[in-house]
Chain A
């Protein structure tokens, strides 16, 4: 019987009332009296030397307050990178400077050169037209493999070449893997591209910088997934403002998908300029600017080899990946193709030997960083595609081949450094077969064929590492921050509760799900509890929301703080009830003395805490507020099995997704409806990557897909009704809620399912020569493959 409140209930998302009625408070809704507006003049060449910037005429134009250039930022820090990767020879990665405004050179289309601050945005834009720029265009570095040739132009003149790092993992396994592949009964090889994506959150980025000269305090309102991280990076590394003089607020945020984790130049600029001008400065990105200034995602070129023995057991995996960093290192860029990718190359399989090589490359393109899944979709896609190809080459059922190689014993230490605590891959596969009605596929294929269409079925598994992450572990791996989280539970005198959480909600439904946990623990109504998030001045600390970590890490901090509240409340109750503390029970919002009919209500205890007329003041302090920091001891490992059925129109090559089913194991689930919604969204983005989305550059580094005319976002008509199940639950063993995280699963598990289905449709339709098509699987690519 479904619950109607607390953990496991599908409580309706309370935040949706304001989102759906247009009363959300987004950064762009914030207007500060007297604010000025900034327009960034951005490079329209991919690579060039700045010979001259003449702002004299522009500065004299109406309304112009001041025009800033890179020269204004000399002596001020550049944008920092939050993760240092060590290469396979033991050397640290190359880490070029990343100035707020371009200095000396421009390195990608969209690189900001001048910031024009004016009374109105229109005046700022007009003045930008009057700036005289003399930029000598240099040869652009676009293709990653060409970028590594000795003859290539250099993105950064002070570096020896365009290679950021050459990473090997696990380097000690390299020879053993080579040997295993040499000795294998069968080796399947696949070369593929994980296409570059633009996140495209519905709300473009915004930064509003404010400054109060009276107390020397700066405030930044920004579209961020992690305001405390921005405060730390910008305050400590860029502008030199101590935390107590810098407040960062991320109010309602309309989608992040990773791209709003990072610290961006515009945030630092608006905060800096507000101090310089003693006036608030506001920037709102246009959609065109978003395409050329938001960090992009994916962009890997990979060769993967899977070795099998004569019984079709996986014996080794070897990969070689070129990962595009873009022109500068975005905040967490180096971690994505390495620790968030290489550690997942075991998948759900007991492959004993794995070696992953990644060459990260600088190019004259927008920086690339984490995007929904971040490294894990790239790992899953290549592994699940090569397994499918192997099954075809060997003439075995792709599901049976996976089953045969599943990990079945837990905990399981993979050869790529992580230890899966729990999982049941057979259970999710069996659930998938049921919900996807795989036994009915042949009949559906015949029905499609009767209509002149090809039909294909693609099945795959995925695993991901979420709940990012144990601080001591990531510290060893190069993270320059801890990855714990924090929560303060503030119980008010009349029993209502504000929970200040370090996680940030930008679509995940935290305002609904987090109170469900506290309500369950205390036995009180969910509506007595609100969470407060997104404001560094209100919350003790927070590392923010990404890597499907919020409920697993911040939720656990909230549980720990609530446990402290319960302990103290029991002490107060024992005083009020004149009983031993050990005999006090909390149930249904009442404290009672075991074995008696004596009880008092939650509200009696909370009132006593703030009106301590009858209170054990000699033993405990008044008030009822507790804070906890929680640092996880391991990642969490959600997993699942996905099935996709596509139809292909052989005349046009157009692929349509007819059915999509997902059987996920997220451990315990707090709010099943919200989890279902998260999976729906993720699958939609995965289908977008598989069939539609592609960020394209031409050979000169010009960005060609910078509007919705050229960058194809998935629409409602591109996706089917999904069948989603998360009843297979192997709870996480190391966090108090037993949760694993669900935010990215859909985007990780779905692209290989779609492409596997496309290849299946073509193969079964007689196009035996088609063993792979790169994403996006557009009609022209399918048609060309069929006729090629």
Chain B
């Protein structure tokens, strides 16, 4: 599956760029990430716990940064093996551009699954990958911007939106 989205981040391009290269930041932002170690040059080792449909697994794998154009764009790729659950691979092509009051982060995501994940969860994998990507970049945005009143407000607004969907 493929999807492209973009997010506005209220921070300057350099701050956003530095955040993208930080192991701590990645750990913070990858949904379900329990461990992350390494460096942009050598790549990161990660452990992620996720549930895809009926399959819950601990994925161990590598996150690598490539195609780095300083301050502008990079490719963030991850590949995780979940043992009996199979594997998941994903990559996000991230591009940064200046925008009034901050930075526009655009991303194109590709995801692929194999083994039991494909066998049992193929119907829901597109939705899952979109959710993972959205969550990652949303986490990233709020981590870069730092906690603020606005965010709390937005958070509530989001929750309302979700809630309204159910009862509406």
B127: interface (CB < 8 Å): no
Is A709's CB within 8 Å of the partner chain B?
A: yes
Of B84, B114, B116, B118, the residue contacting A128 (CB under 8 A) is: B84
Residue of B at shortest CB range from A39?
B84
Q: Given that A44-B86, A128-B84, A129-B83 are contacting pairs, would A698 and B118 also be in contact in the complex, using a CB cutoff of 8 Å?
A: yes
What's the dominant secondary structure at chain A's contact region? Answer: loop
Asked if residues B84 and A707 are in contact (CB atoms below 8 Å), the reply is no
Residues in chain A near residue B157, CB distance under 8 A: none
CA distance A705 to B118 in the complex (A): 8
Chain A 708-736 residues near chain B, CB threshold 8 A: 709-710
In this assembly, does A262 line the interface, its C-beta being within 8 Å of a C-beta of chain B? no
Note all chain A residues with C-beta closer than 8 A to B113: 702
Q: Using known A-B contacts A109-B114, A700-B112, A702-B113, determine if residue A129 contacts B84 with beta carbons closer than 8 Å.
A: yes
- Contact across chains for B114 and A710 when beta carbons are under 8 A apart: no
Please give the distance in Å from A139's CB to the nearest CB on chain B. 13
Q: Give A271-330 interface residues, CB cut-off 8 Å to B.
A: 288, 291-292
Asked if A45 CB lies within 8 Å of chain B CBs, one says yes
Q: Complex Cα distance A288/B116, Å?
A: 8
Residues of B within 8 A of A291 (CB): 119
Given contact pairs A129-B84, A702-B113, A292 touches B122 in the complex (Cβ within 8 A): no
The interface residues of chain A lying within 8 Å CB-to-CB of B83 are 128-129
B118 & A702 in contact (Cβ 8 Å cutoff):
yes
Contact B118 A707, beta carbon cutoff 8 Å: no
Q: Chain B's nearest CB lies how many Å from the CB of A67? A: 15
A709 with B120, Cβ < 8 A, contacts A44-B115, A109-B115 known: yes
| Closest Cβ neighbor of A703 among chain B residues | B119
Q: Is B137 in the interface zone, CB < 8 Å from A?
A: no
How big is the B interface, by class? 10 to 19
Q: Does A600 contact B (CB under 8 A)?
A: no
* B120: nearest chain-A partner, CB-CB: A707
Measured in the bound complex, the distance between the Cα atoms of B120 and A709 in whole Å is: 8
Give the complex CA separation of A109 and B115 in angstroms.
Answer: 7
A residues 41-60 near B (Cβ < 8 Å) are 44-45
Give the chain B neighbours of A702 by CB distance below 8 A.
Answer: 113-115, 118-119, 122
Cβ proximity bits A125-141 to B, threshold 8 Å, 1 near / 0 not:
10011000000000000
Could you give, for residues 59-101 of chain B, a 1 whenever the CB lies within 8 Å of some chain A CB and a 0 otherwise? 0000000000000000000000001101100000000000000
Q: In the bound complex, do residue A706 and residue B120 qualify as a contact, i.e. CB atoms below 8 Å apart?
A: yes
A430 proximal to B (CB < 8 A) = no
> CA A288 – CA B118 in complex, angstroms?
12
Residues of B within 8 A of A705 (CB): 119
A44 to B83, CA, bound (A): 10
The answer to whether A698 and B119 have CB atoms under 8 Å apart is: no
Q: How far is the CB of B156 from chain A (nearest CB, A)?
A: 36
Residues of A within 8 A of B116 (CB): 44, 288, 706
- A709 surroundings in chain B (CB, below 8 A): 54, 120, 123
Per-residue CB proximity of A677-706 to B under 8 Å, as 1/0? Answer: 000000000000000000000101011111
B114 touches A45 (CB 8 A): yes
Chain B residue with the shortest CB-CB distance to A709: B120
Nearest neighbor of B58 in chain A, beta-carbon distance: A129
- In the assembly, what is the distance between CA of A709 and CA of B123, in Å? 10
- Docked complex Cα distance between A246 and B27 (Å): 57
When chains A and B are docked, how far (Å) is the Cα of A45 from the Cα of B123? 18
Q: Which residues of A lie under 8 Å from residue B120 when comparing CB positions?
A: 288, 706-707, 709-710
B114 lies within 8 A of A700 (CB): yes
- Which one of B87, B114, B119, B122 contacts A288 once the chains associate, using CB atoms below 8 Å? B119
Of A44, A291, A698, A706, the most chain B CB neighbours within 10 A belong to A44
Chain A residues in 8 Å Cβ range of B115: 44-45, 109, 702
Nearest Cβ in chain B — how far from A702, in angstroms? Answer: 4
What is the minimal beta-carbon distance from A340 to any residue of chain B, in angstroms? 30
Query: Is B122 a contact partner of A44 (Cβ separation < 8 A)?
Result: no
How many chain A residues touch B (CB < 8 A): the figure is 19
Nearest CB of B to A365, in Å = 13
**How many pairs of residues, A versus B, come closer than 8 Å at their CB atoms?**
51
Given contacts A44-B87, A129-B83, A129-B84, contact A707 B114 (CB under 8 A): no
Complex interface: chain A residues within 8 A of B112 (CB): 700
Tell me which residues across on chain B come within 8 A of A704, comparing CB atoms.
Answer: 118-119, 122
Tell which of A45, A125, A129, A706 touches B119, judged by Cβ atoms closer than 8 Å. Answer: A706
CA distance A617 to B97 in the complex (A): 107
Q: Is the CB of B122 within 8 A of A707?
A: no
| Chain B residue contacts of A707, Cβ below 8 A | 119-120
CB nearest to A706 among chain B residues: B119
Closest to A132 in B: B81
**Within B101-137, which residues are at the interface with A (CB < 8 Å)?**
112-116, 118-120, 122-123
> Within A1-54, which residues are at the interface with B (CB < 8 Å)?
44-45
Contacts of A44 in B (CB 8 A): 86-87, 114-116
By the criterion CB–CB under 8 Å, are A698 and B122 in contact? yes
Residues of A within 8 A of B86 (CB): 44
Cα of A707 to Cα of B124 in the assembled complex, Å = 14
Q: How far is the CB of B45 from chain A (nearest CB, A)?
A: 14
CA distance A702 to B121 in the complex (A): 11
| A133, closest chain B residue (CB) | B81
CA distance A710 to B122 in the complex (A): 9
A702 to B116, CA, bound (A): 9
Question: Which residues of chain B come closer than 8 Å to A125, judged between CB atoms?
Answer: 84
- Kindly provide the distance from the CB of A110 to the nearest chain B CB, expressed in whole angstroms: 9
Query: Nearest-CB distance from B115 to chain A (Å)?
Result: 3
Complex interface: chain A residues within 8 A of B123 (CB)? 709-710
CB distance from A138 to the nearest CB of B (A): 13
> How far apart sit A291 and B115, CA to CA, in the bound complex (Å)?
12
Q: How far is the CB of B61 from chain A (nearest CB, A)?
A: 13
Of all chain B residues, the one with the shortest Cβ separation from A292 is B119
How near does chain B come to A288, taking the closest CB pair, in angstroms?
7
Chain B's closest residue to A711 (CB) is B119
Q: Inside 8 A of A703's CB, which chain B residues have their CB?
A: 118-119
Residues of B within 8 A of A710 (CB): 119-120, 122-123
B104 shortest CB reach to chain A, Å: 32
Give the docked Cα–Cα distance between A709 and B112 (Å): 20
Distance from B112 Cβ to chain A, minimum over Cβ atoms (Å): 7
CB distance from B69 to the nearest CB of A (A): 28
Residue of B nearest to A291 (CB): B119
| Cα distance, A109 to B118, chains bound together (Å) | 10
Q: Which residues of B contact A700 (CB under 8 A)?
A: 112, 114
CA distance A75 to B116 in the complex (A): 32
- A131 closest partner in B (C-beta): B83
* Closest A residue to B87 using CB positions: A44
Q: How far is the CA of A268 from the CA of B101 in the complex (A)?
A: 69
Chain B residue nearest to A137 (CB atoms) is: B114
Q: Which residues of A contact B118 (CB under 8 A)?
A: 109, 698, 702-704, 706
* A702 and chain B: residue at smallest CB distance: B118
Q: Which residue of A lies closest to B83 (CB)?
A: A129
Closest to B116 in A: A288
| B-chain residues with CB within 8 Å of residue A292 when the two chains form the complex | 119
Residues of B within 8 A of A288 (CB): 116, 119-120
Find chain A residues with CB under 8 A from B122 CB.
Answer: 698, 702, 704, 710
Query: Which B residues are in CB contact (< 8 Å) with A128?
Result: 83-84
Residues of A at the B interface (CB closer than 8 Å) are 44-45, 109, 125, 128-129, 288, 291-292, 698, 700, 702-707, 709-710
* Interface pairs (25), CB distance under 8 Å: A44-B86, A44-B115, A44-B116, A109-B114, A125-B84, A128-B84, A288-B119, A291-B119, A700-B112, A702-B114, A702-B115, A702-B118, A703-B119, A704-B118, A704-B122, A706-B116, A706-B119, A706-B120, A707-B119, A707-B120, A709-B54, A710-B119, A710-B120, A710-B122, A710-B123
6 cross-chain pairs, A with B, having the tightest CB-CB distances, nearest first: A44-B115, A706-B119, A702-B118, A704-B122, A129-B83, A44-B86
* Apart from A44-B114, A45-B87, A702-B119, 19 more pairs, CB < 8 Å: A44-B86, A44-B87, A125-B84, A129-B83, A288-B116, A288-B120, A291-B119, A292-B119, A698-B118, A698-B122, A702-B114, A702-B115, A702-B118, A703-B118, A703-B119, A706-B116, A706-B118, A709-B123, A710-B119
Question: Could you tell me which B residues sit within 8 Å of A by CB distance?
Answer: 54, 83-84, 86-87, 112-116, 118-120, 122-123
